[in-house]
Amino acid sequence: MTLRHLGLGPSILGYLSLTAAAASAQGTAAATCSSYSHAEVNKVDLLFVVDNSRSMSDEQRALTDQIPKLIDAITTGQRFAGDPRPFRPVTDLHVGVVSTDMGIPGVEFPPSCSPDGGSDGRLLHAAPQETQLSCQREYPQYQSYRAHYDDRDALANAVACTASLGTEGCGIEQPLESAFKALWPKAPPAGSQQNPFRFISTTEAGTWGRGDRTEAQGGNYGFLRNDPDDPSLIAIVLLTDEEDCSVGETSHLQPRSQLAEDSPYWQQDINLRCYYNKQFLFDLERRYLDGLRALRPGREDLVFFSVIAGVPADLVSRDVLARTDFSDAAARDTFYDDILNDPRMQEAIDPSSNPGSGTGNLRPSCVRSVAGESGVSTAFPPRRLVSLARAFGKHGMVQSICQDDFGPAVDAIVDGLADHL
């Protein structure tokens, strides 16, 4: 199967540098692509990026348990009844869900990793076959809520149903690429002859973002509101127990059964391929920081990026957050330095995983064990995800997937959204 390399060299496969275009306020943007006014914002387009690999059943349930709390808080402007610090509520809300499954384009890796791109940044809206929730069989492509018209409880239940993705997704998680492809448009920015971002794919149609294509065309059109006079806040909530492996090349991800014995990847366990071959990972700032901000040219503050991943819970506790002034760059740097410099956040091969046998893996960064759940869950150092949240400055937030429940994580995300509203 042939990948669409689009004439790009392997070191920049799938994207073009945004450096020159970012210098112009209208340079790289969504289909509307003109600078946004500084009007008051009352709309939010909330995208959940949910890891649907086989280790995520308990964590998905922990997230969906908190969705009613999140929806209630942002649509009432109160974190809890009688909140002494109410904020401006969201009166117009879109909520979409994508998975971390981008397949492994061009690589046959059954049963969970498709060579054709997996979910590939499509908004997912079919309810799972087995869930404790009361779900319809299928929902609209994304959920909508308008104050005084729609039922927030019904909205919360629908979002929880669609975010319960199951655990049959590809174990090579690419959450950043999935979110970016879901939102980025196919159409070139206004005044430009060429779209600065493309995507690795086996088909011509798959090389483009889905943000401005209709559902019939395989796109997510309508989820983002791109009216220059009335822009929405884009809020991304990402849940995964792994590091991001968003890549522009996939030859190193072939299973050992497909490799020649003289291949440089032959001795590398599949779970360590992204660790060993970081040269194939997409650049965090040029692609994801600049690219996501370019969806709101002139109003880059209207992009909020949050992560619930394998950060040790004590490093992002309520006490730590309470004593950190996230509006102050020095305080933020100390917060992120403490996370990234912590010994548990360092990537190292776990000798107990029997490296070289095919089952080798990194040392976990944190462990989650909750009574009544299916077992002990391990998470791994999400250094790329933490680094990207840091790059977003006060518009980023990090929380831990290893907390007993995700209430504190949702509280932190609500506080971040409240600052924007």
Residue 400: what residue type? S
Alpha-carbon span 390 to 403, nearest angstrom: 21
Cα(138)–Cα(339) distance, integer angstroms: 40
Give CA torsion, residues 308, 313, 316, 322, to 10 deg: 120
Kindly give, in sequence order, each residue whose CB lies less than 8 Å from that of residue 151, ignoring residues fewer than 6 positions away: none
Q: What is the dihedral of CA 159, 163, 166, 169, to 10 degrees?
A: 150
Give the CA dihedral 313, 318, 323, 328, nearest 10 degrees. Answer: 80
C-beta neighbour count of 216 within 10 angstroms: 7
List of long-range contacts for 354-363, beta carbons under 8 Å, 24+ apart = 355/269, 355/272, 356/267, 356/269, 357/269, 358/256, 358/269, 358/270, 359/269, 359/271, 360/269, 360/271, 360/272, 361/269, 361/271, 361/272, 362/271, 362/272, 362/275
CA distance 330 to 75: 32
Among residues 205, 249, 204, the alpha carbon closest in space to that of 106 is found at 249
Confidence (pLDDT) at 10: 35
DSSP one-letter code for 286: I
What pTM does this model have?
Answer: 0.92
Task: List the pLDDT tens digit at each of the 421 positions of the chain.
Answer: 556 543 333 333 333 333 333 333 333 444 444 566 555 788 999 999 999 999 899 999 999 999 999 999 999 999 988 999 999 999 999 999 999 999 999 998 888 899 988 999 999 998 876 666 789 888 999 999 999 999 999 999 999 999 999 999 999 999 999 999 999 999 987 778 899 999 999 888 899 999 999 999 999 999 999 988 888 999 999 999 999 999 999 999 999 999 999 999 999 999 999 999 999 999 999 999 999 999 999 999 999 999 999 999 999 999 999 999 999 999 999 999 999 999 999 999 999 999 988 899 999 999 998 877 767 889 999 999 999 999 999 999 999 999 999 999 999 999 999 988 8
CA–CA gap between residue 221 and residue 95 (Å, rounded) = 13
Neighbour tally for 48: CB within 10 Å: 24
User: Which two structure tokens, joined as six digits, stand for 81?
Assistant: 């009844």
Question: What per-residue confidence (pLDDT) applies to 127?
Answer: 80
- Asked if residue 111 has a cis previous peptide bond (ω within 30° of 0), the answer is yes
In whole angstroms, what is the distance from residue 306 CA to residue 236 CA? 6
* Cβ(344)–Cβ(330) below 8 Å: no
Q: Which residues pair with 309 in a beta bridge?
A: 400
Q: In this predicted structure, what is the pLDDT of residue 2? A: 55
Say what the pLDDT of residue 343 is.
Answer: 98
